């Protein structure tokens, strides 16, 4: 649900990072925050526990620039990944324009990835969205670790619809902006279709 | 895209802004905000210089969403008013027409009673304005939008690439 304001000539869109606990959603946001010019970003807000696990959400407003005289702003959110925060995760998907599913490439996290993806489909459906119709991309994160699953296998398990996917190392920023750009592009092209 | 996007033109923005200015004055408030339920700031009135309005909008929407979640667990449809009392400042948050959140920040120069009274009146007016906006957006979507004026019809891959340079 984008917000298009002709008065202030702004387009606001919401992108949510989804994925299992400790897959690197917050790290994606932290890297974007670190690498963006101060005038382009607002505060990075993290509602986290004392042990730095996301409790409710992280939020980062980004003003990327202008398209045809309209300021384009993206509001980036992460969900809490841990299974027992299901109720909070659902709330954050409200009014979403695009979703980035961050998968943990470590072999032993594959089940957690699949569980989270299933949870995403269910929660989206509850809000009246279908994953196939949404602006959506997958990021295979933590590619720098030693025991990771091959991308082909991850695509088979987590990307049956063959959507855009990216390899990432969020801690060093590999693939972070590429993934964001991939989904942002889909969101803006979707707007073009409707308006 | 599922659900309805919110599209606001200058004419409606002026009306909303006028209502917020009036509420700001009549309620003796420090700041008045209007936020979309998804966390987008729509308009504000009063002294916003020292406030991070974008963050405030997002957190308020999160707050309303969490409270709405609690309401449903208890079998309530929604809690439409939230009030937080601080040492100096207080914040009154109310939901208008299930879609828009009105936030009033005030201190001891005003009172909860006055704020509630004024918010009630403003809510009715704003509710009508937003009903108008929603039906207009829906209508334009059905009719294929105002393609000739739309700034989005022309968006190219290059425009988008430029955003990420």
- Identity of the residue in A2, A7, A127 whose CB atom sits nearest the CB atom of B9: A7
Least confident segment among A174-178, B11-15, B95-99: B95-99
Q: What percent of chain A has pLDDT over 90?
A: 81
> CA A19, CA A90: separation in Å to the nearest integer?
13
Candidate CATH numbers 3.20.20.140, 3.40.50.880, 3.40.50.300, 3.40.50.1000; the one for domain A3-189: 3.40.50.300
Residue B145 lies in domain:
10-163
Say which residue, B139 or B132, is predicted with more confidence.
Answer: B132
Alpha-carbon distance A152 to nearest alpha carbon in chain B (angstroms): 28
Residue B159 placed within a domain: yes
Residues of chain A found within 8 Å of residue B52, distances taken between Cβ atoms: 42-43
CB-based contact (8 Å) between B159 and chain A?
yes
A105 φ/ψ angles, rounded to the nearest 5 degrees: -75, -10
State residue B146's pLDDT score: 53
- Contact criterion met (CB below 8 Å) for A116 and A20: yes
Q: Which two tokens stand for residue A174?
A: 């590999």
CA distance A107 to chain B (A): 33
Q: Is residue B143 within 8 angstroms of chain A, CB to CB?
A: no
B88: phi > 0 → left, psi -120 to 50 → alpha, else beta; which? alpha
pLDDT computed for residue B3 by the predictor: 55
The distance of B117 to chain A (nearest Cα, Å) reads 29
Tokens of B25: 């004055």
d(CA A105, CA B87) in angstroms, rounded, equals 48
What are the chain B neighbours of A46 within 8 Å (beta carbons)? none
Nearest CA in chain B to A62: B54
In-domain check, residue B131: yes
Domain contains B89: yes
Q: B145 and A67 in contact by Cβ < 8 A?
A: no
Q: What is the pLDDT of residues B43-91, one digit of tens each?
A: 999 999 889 999 999 999 999 999 999 999 999 999 999 999 999 999 9
Q: Which two tokens stand for residue B49?
A: 């210089």
Q: Which residues of B145-156 are buried (b: 16+ CB within 10 A; e: fewer)?
A: beeeebbbeebe
Give the tokens for residue A21. 């606990």
In chain B, how long is the greatest CA-to-CA distance? Answer: 54
Dist CA B31 CA A136 (whole Å):
37
Which of B139, B58, B60, B130 shows the shortest CA–CA distance to A73?
Answer: B58
Which chain B residues are within 8 Å of A88, Cβ to Cβ?
66, 69
pTM of the model: 0.90
Could you give the angle at which helices B10-26 and B112-142 cross, rounded to 10 degrees?
170
β B90-96/B81-85 pair status: antiparallel
B48 within a domain of the structure (yes/no): yes
Select from B64, B143, B163 the residue whose CB has the most chain A CBs within 10 Å, as the one to mutate to test that interface. Answer: B163
Which helix (H) or strand (E) segment holds residue A112: the answer is: helix A110-126
Alpha-carbon separation of residue A62 from A6, A32, A191 (angstroms): 19, 9, 18
Given B5, B58, B69, which is nearest A59 (Cβ)?
B58
Residue B96 belongs to domain with CATH number: 3.30.450.30
Residue B142 has pLDDT above 80, yes or no: no
Q: Which two three-digit tokens encode residue B145?
A: 């939008």
How many domains would you assign to chain B?
A: 1
Domain contains B46 = yes
Gap from B126 CA to chain A (nearest CA, Å): 17
Q: Is B68 on the interface with A (CB under 8 A)?
A: yes
The H or E element that residue A49 is part of is: none
B51 assigned to some structural domain: yes
| Residue B2 forms part of a structural domain | no
Q: For residue A59, which of A23, A21, A4, A12 has the smallest C-alpha distance?
A: A12
Rounded-to-integer distance, Cα A11 and Cα B50, Å? 24
Q: What is the dihedral of CA A34, A35, A37, A38, to 10 degrees?
A: 0
- Structural domain spans, chain A: 3-189
Least confident range of A20-34, B15-29, B77-91, B150-164: B150-164
Question: What number of residues does chain A have?
Answer: 195
Question: According to the model, what pLDDT value does residue B2 have?
Answer: 42
Residues of A in contact with B144 (CB under 8 A): none
pLDDT at B147: 43
């Amino acid at each position: 649900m984008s917000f298009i304001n002709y008065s202030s000539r702004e387009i606001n869109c919401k992108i949510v990072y989804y994925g299992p606990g400790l897959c690197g959603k917050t790290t994606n946001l932290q890297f974007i925050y670190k690498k963006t010019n101060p005038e382009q970003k607002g505060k990075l807000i993290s509602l986290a526990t004392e042990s730095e696990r996301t409790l409710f959400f992280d939020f980062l407003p980004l003003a990327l620039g202008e398209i045809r005289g309209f300021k384009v702003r993206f509001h980036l959110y992460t969900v809490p990944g841990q299974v027992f925060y299901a109720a909070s995760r659902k709330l954050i998907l409200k009014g979403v324009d695009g979703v980035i599913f961050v998968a943990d490439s470590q072999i032993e996290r594959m089940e957690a990835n699949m569980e989270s993806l299933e949870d995403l489909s269910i929660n989206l459906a509850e809000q009246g969205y279908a994953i196939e119709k949404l602006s959506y991309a997958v990021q295979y994160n933590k590619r720098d670790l030693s025991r990771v699953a091959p991308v082909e296998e991850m695509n088979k398990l987590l990307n049956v619809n063959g959507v855009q996917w990216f390899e990432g190392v969020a801690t060093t920023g590999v693939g972070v902006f590429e993934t964001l750009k991939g989904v942002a592009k889909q969101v803006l092209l979707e707007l073009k279709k409707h308006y | 895209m599922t659900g309805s996007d919110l599209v606001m033109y200058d004419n409606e923005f002026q009306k909303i802004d006028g209502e917020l200015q009036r509420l700001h004055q009549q309620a003796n408030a420090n700041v008045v905000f209007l936020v979309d339920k998804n966390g987008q700031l729509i308009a504000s009135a009063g002294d916003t210089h020292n406030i991070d309005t974008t963050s405030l909008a997002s957190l308020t929407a999160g707050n309303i969403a969490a409270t709405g979640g609690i309401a449903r667990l208890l079998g309530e449809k929604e809690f439409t008013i939230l009030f937080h009392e601080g040492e100096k400042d207080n914040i009154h948050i109310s939901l208008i027409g299930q879609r828009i959140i009105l936030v009033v920040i005030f201190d001891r120069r005003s009172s909860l009673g006055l704020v509630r009274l004024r918010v009630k009146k403003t809510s009715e007016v704003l509710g009508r304005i937003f009903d108008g906006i929603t039906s207009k957006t829906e209508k334009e979507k059905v009719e294929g939008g105002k393609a000739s004026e739309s700034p989005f019809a022309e968006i190219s891959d290059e425009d988008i690439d430029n955003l990420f340079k």
